[in-house]
Amino acid sequence: MDKFNNRETIEKSSFLSTFIDQNDNGKKKLSIRAKRWIVIISIHLTFFLSFYIDIQMLEGTMNGSRFLGFHLIDVYVTMQVYLASYHMPINMVIGTVTIILVYLLIGGRTYCSWVCPYGLLSEIAEKINNILVKKKIIKKREFDNRVRHIFWLMFLVLSFTSGYLVFETFNVVGILSRFIAYGWSIALVWVLAVLLIEILYSRRAWCKYICPIGTTYGYIGVVSATRIQWNNNCDHCMVCHDVCFENHVLELTKAKYAKQVEEKGIKTAYIKSGDCTLCGRCIDVCHQDALKFDFRLKGLV
Ligand code: SF4
Ligand code: SF4
């Protein structure tokens, strides 16, 4: 990826090129996308090896696990369990609080980009969807992403009224995670169906419009310490908008925003929305180095 000489939009870049970043001196290094993929694959390889060769480092699945003996429980799973059973074992409380604290520090939807195994498949589907749109085989379809708050509430209400974790039947993240840790199941057909919807119908549809797990981490992300920071080197080229599937969070890169901040003498600003997944794709493609990760509590450490 040579962002200093090309506009590295999804359409213009080959998928493989996005794993290598090139600085303005031509020196190559791993892109943030490559680093994310290494993190995701390492996490799920550890789940796999913990079960198959019993290394006992990371046991369980994405819904609930133990890392070196510490309980980790997904927040949305805990909410569903409580609403379905009115019961919350102490280990679940400890595991959930641990996860909330971790994501308050590293960024809420960091889960979506740096941990979730479905997110990785969805990135491949996104590229295929883009090729099909470019060739005019399918149309580009976008919807109001606020629909995900309705899904979030709906699945909680269903847990409460039915006494079952209804969402877990459809949860592609849980299905994939169980597949990685324990082996095949027929439920993988559903994962394939969702991927096909993302390829043939709407870009990143599950993550953008449906997944209540991502929505929950988005709520945490509103107050989390890690953020994307923008600076006024930005020339409003909009390449970051092209690669970001939640690009409404990048309003501050638009010229009209820059004009306002210029008037106020502001040189840097944070992406405030919890919808940002901190995937770093915008940083990877920005030829002005106008975006970076920032830990807002760095003054305290
Ligand atoms: S932040 Fe970078 S990629 Fe985004 S509009 Fe500004 S210059 Fe372009
Ligand atoms: S703003 Fe950047 S880091 Fe956030 S989701 Fe979009 S591309 Fe990823």
In this structure, are residues 276 and 249 in contact, taking their beta carbons and an 8 Å threshold? yes
Local confidence band at 301 (pLDDT 50, 70, 90 cut-offs): low
* Cα 32 to ligand 2 centroid, rounded to whole Å: 11
Ligand of minimum distance to the alpha carbon of 232:
1
Q: Which atom of ligand 1 is nearest to the CA of 241?
A: 4
Q: Is the CB of 83 under 6 A from ligand 2?
A: no
Ligand 2: residue whose CA is nearest its atom 2? 282
Q: Is the CB of 238 under 6 A from ligand 1?
A: yes
Ligand 2: residue whose CA is nearest its atom 6? 244
Tens digit of pLDDT for each residue in 8-26? 899 999 999 999 998 878 8
Tens digit of pLDDT for each residue in 212-246? 999 999 999 999 999 999 999 999 999 999 999 99
Does the pLDDT value for residue 99 go beyond 90? yes
Q: Is the CB of 236 under 6 A from ligand 1?
A: yes
Ligand 2: residue whose CA is nearest its atom 1? 276
Q: What is the mean pLDDT of residues 181-198?
A: 95
Q: What is the mean pLDDT of residues 139-157?
A: 97
Tell me which range, 55-69, 249-263, 273-287, is most confidently predicted by mean pLDDT: 273-287
Tens digit of pLDDT for each residue in 129-144? 999 999 999 999 999 9
Q: Which atom of ligand 2 is nearest to the CA of 278?
A: 3
* Cα 237 to ligand 1 centroid, rounded to whole Å: 5
What domains can be seen in the chain, in order of their start residue? 31-224 (no CATH), 227-300 (3.30.70)
DSSP string, the chain: --TTTS---TTTS-TGGGGEEE-TTS-EEE-HHHHHHHHHHHHHHHHHHHHHS---SEEE-SSEEEETTEEEE-HHHHHHHHHHHS---HHHHHHHHHHHHHHHHH-TTHHHHHT-HHHHHHHHHHHHHHHHHHTTSS------TTHHHHHHHHHHHHHHHHSS-THHHH-HHHHHHHHHHH---TTHHHHHHHHHHHHHT-TTHIIIII-HHHHHHHHHHTT-SEEEEEETT-----HHHHH-TTGGGGGGGSHHHHHHHHHHT--EEE---TT-----HHHHH-TT--EEEEETTGGG-
pLDDT of residue 249: 96
Q: Is the CB of 290 under 6 A from ligand 2?
A: no
Tell me which range, 56-65, 261-270, 274-283, is most confidently predicted by mean pLDDT: 274-283
Does the pLDDT value for residue 5 go beyond 90? no
Q: Which atom of ligand 1 is nearest to the CA of 291?
A: 1
Local confidence band at 200 (pLDDT 50, 70, 90 cut-offs): very high
Q: Is the CB of 253 under 6 A from ligand 1?
A: yes
Ligand 2: residue whose CA is nearest its atom 8? 279
Local confidence band at 270 (pLDDT 50, 70, 90 cut-offs): very high
Ligand of minimum distance to the alpha carbon of 281:
2
Ligand of minimum distance to the alpha carbon of 218:
2
Q: Is the CB of 281 under 6 A from ligand 2?
A: yes
How much is the pTM?
Answer: 0.93
Q: What is the mean pLDDT of residues 27-45?
A: 96
